[in-house]
Structure 1
C-alpha cells in the first residue's frame, strides 16, 4: 500500500540525529524520497564527535518504507548547498518539502551568561550555524521547490512564537538564534504564499534526542529513570513525534492555512490526531507554562 507522500521528494537539512532524523524517518514512513544531509558520516565525524551518521539516517528512512539518500553537506558552504540542490534537480526534477533543521550549537552556548561574559567566537559561530545555514539553504533550494505548486518549508526551532516572545531563552545568542528562525518562517510565508507554497516554524517539545538521553545517562528504553533527576522530564517526547507532525503537514492538502505561523508538535498532534511512539500526545509547551514555569510539582496528567 502506497503512503500519502508517495512520489514526493523531501530534503531534511540537518538530519544526522535528533529532530532531523525523526522527521526524515517519518517522511519515509509516509512514502517520500528523502535526501538527508549533515556533516557526520561513516567516514568522518563533525566536531560533535558522535556516532550518529547521515548514512544511518538514510538507512532508517528506507527501512521505514521510503527512499533515503545521504548527501554530506556543510550548509555554511553555499557551493556545497548549490551542488546538493543541483543533484536533487537532476535525479528527481522536483522538491516538495524542505526542512531546515540545521543547528549544531549545543556545545557553543553557556546558560544564563550575559553577552559581555559569553565567549564571543562561540556565540557568533552559534549564530552562523543556527541562522546563516537556514538562509543559505533556502536561497538555493526554494527555486526548485517552487517548480511545482504546493511545496512546504518547515523551519525547525526551539519554542513557539508566543513562548519565546515572553521568555528569555538561555542567553543572548541562543535566544537570538531561535527567535530568528521563527521570523524566517514568517518572512518566507510572505514570499512563498503568493507563489503557491507554504512556510511554517515548528518546535518540538522537550525532545528525547540522542544528546539529551546521553546527558541523563539513559536510553530510550529506560528514559523514565531520568525522572529521579528531573521529574519534569516526564513531559518529554521522541524525535519521531516531531517527524509525525511534519509528515502530517506535508500530506495536508489544506496546509496553506498555517502559512507563516509558529506551530508545535503537541499542537499539531491535537490537530491531526497522531501520537508519539508510546501512544501518548505530550503537550510540552502548555505544560511548561502551566506547570514547570509556574513552579508546580511535576504532574503530566492532562498534558500527555
Structure 2
C-alpha cells in the first residue's frame, strides 16, 4: 500500500474498528477514523476517535478523527464531503460501525430480549448502505478501490439470536450486490468474516472468568489482524477476482501470507460454524 492511500474506518474508537484503522495507518495511509466517543469516560470501555487517530499518526500514517453518529445520514454525508474536499477521492471504506445492545449475548429466545436489539438494523446494517452510498463517487474517482463490510459467522449460523444474524446476513448480501454495481469502475466489495477478536469487551470477559474462556482466548485474534488482511487485499493484484464474495479472514490471511501481530496464524472456524453463503450469479435489473 502506498503512502497516498486514503481510507475510512467507521466505528473506530475501539474494538475491531480501532485495530483495523491502526493496521491501515501502519502502512502509511491517511485514515479517517469515525466514532462517537470523544472523551475517556464517556462509556465504560476505553478509547476515543482522537486516541485512535493519534496512534495512527505515531505509527507513520495520518490519522484524521471525525466525530460521526452513523445513525445520522447528514453527518455521514458531511464526512464524505470533507474527504472529497480534502482529497477528491477515496481508496478504502471499511464499514465497521455497529450498535451492540447490552442484551445481545443474553441467553434465551428473542422474545425475552428487549426490542432494542433491532437497533442493529440501523447502525450495523443500514449504516453500511448509507456510507457506501456517499462514498461511491469518491471511490469511482480513484479508478480502483475497496469496500469491506466487517461481518461474522453469524451470517450463516445461529449467533446471538435472529436480530444479530439478520444484520450480518444483510451486510454479506449487500457486499455481493454492491459489487455488481461497482465492477465496471474497478471497485471491489467484500464481506470479511472475522473470528473472535481480543476487543476491550472480550478481554474484560476473559479476565472475569479465565477458566471458562481459556480455550477461546487461545484461538482469539488481535483487533489488528483484520486490518492486516484488508491492507493485503487492497494491495492484491487479484482483488477484483474476489469482489462480491464473503471471505473468512483466517483463510484469506493464509492465502495472502498475513499473520497476526504475535506471528501466529489464527485458525478458520468454518468446520464448526459453517461456510459462507453462496449467492446466485443471476442479475435481474
Q: TM-score, normalised by structure 2?
A: 0.90
Deviations 1:134-186 (CA, angstroms, capped at 9, x unpaired): 11111111111111211100000122xxx743x21221111111111111111
Sort the Cα spacing of 1:280 and 1:66 in 2 relative to 1 into closer, same or farther, 3 A. same
Name the stretch that deviates more: 270-279 or 225-234: 225-234
Alignment partner of 1:88 is 2:86: no
Alignment partner of 1:34 is 2:31: yes
Sort the Cα spacing of 1:287 and 1:61 in 2 relative to 1 into closer, same or farther, 3 A. farther
CA contact (8 A) 2:54 2:63 kept: yes
Q: Give the match for residue 299 of structure 1.
A: none
Alignment partner of 1:64 is 2:48: no
The separation in 1 between residues aligned to 2:105 and 2:202, in whole angstroms, is 16
Sort the Cα spacing of 1:112 and 1:190 in 2 relative to 1 into closer, same or farther, 3 A. farther
Deviations 1:209-255 (CA, angstroms, capped at 9, x unpaired): 1110012227xxxxxx9356442331111011111001101112321
Kindly report which structure 2 residues correspond to 1:218-233, keeping only aligned pairs within 5 A, or say none: 226=210, 229-233=213-217
Sort the Cα spacing of 1:169 and 1:228 in 2 relative to 1 into closer, same or farther, 3 A. closer
CA contact (8 A) 2:101 2:117 kept: no
Question: Of the candidates 92, 114, 118, which is equivalent to residue 119 of structure 1?
Answer: 114
Q: Give the match for residue 253 of structure 1.
A: 237
Sort the Cα spacing of 1:257 and 1:231 in 2 relative to 1 into closer, same or farther, 3 A. same
* Superposed displacement of residue 271, structure 1: 1.1
CA contact (8 A) 2:251 2:268 kept: no
Alignment partner of 1:22 is 2:19: yes
* Paired residue total: 274
Q: Give the match for residue 9 of structure 2.
A: 12
Q: Secondary structure at the match of 2:65?
A: strand
Alignment partner of 1:275 is 2:259: yes
Q: TM-score, normalised by structure 1?
A: 0.84
The separation in 1 between residues aligned to 2:228 and 2:91, in whole angstroms, is 17
The separation in 1 between residues aligned to 2:18 and 2:100, in whole angstroms, is 17
Kindly report which structure 2 residues correspond to 1:1-304, keeping only aligned pairs within 5 A, or say none: 4-42=1-39, 45=42, 48-120=43-115, 122-159=116-153, 164-165=155-156, 167-217=157-207, 226=210, 229-286=213-270, 288-289=272-273
* Superposed displacement of residue 8, structure 1: 0.8
Q: Give the match for residue 279 of structure 2.
A: none
Structure 1 unaligned regions, length at least 5: 219-224, 291-304
Q: Secondary structure at the match of 1:88?
A: helix
CA contact (8 A) 2:33 2:63 kept: yes
CA contact (8 A) 2:106 2:113 kept: no
CA contact (8 A) 1:204 1:265 kept: yes
Structure 2 unaligned regions, length at least 5: 275-285
The separation in 2 between residues aligned to 1:255 and 1:110, in whole angstroms, is 35
Name the stretch that deviates more: 88-97 or 187-196: 187-196
* Superposed displacement of residue 58, structure 1: 0.5
Name the stretch that deviates more: 264-273 or 278-287: 278-287
CA contact (8 A) 2:155 2:166 kept: no
The separation in 1 between residues aligned to 2:61 and 2:187, in whole angstroms, is 23
CA contact (8 A) 1:55 1:70 kept: yes
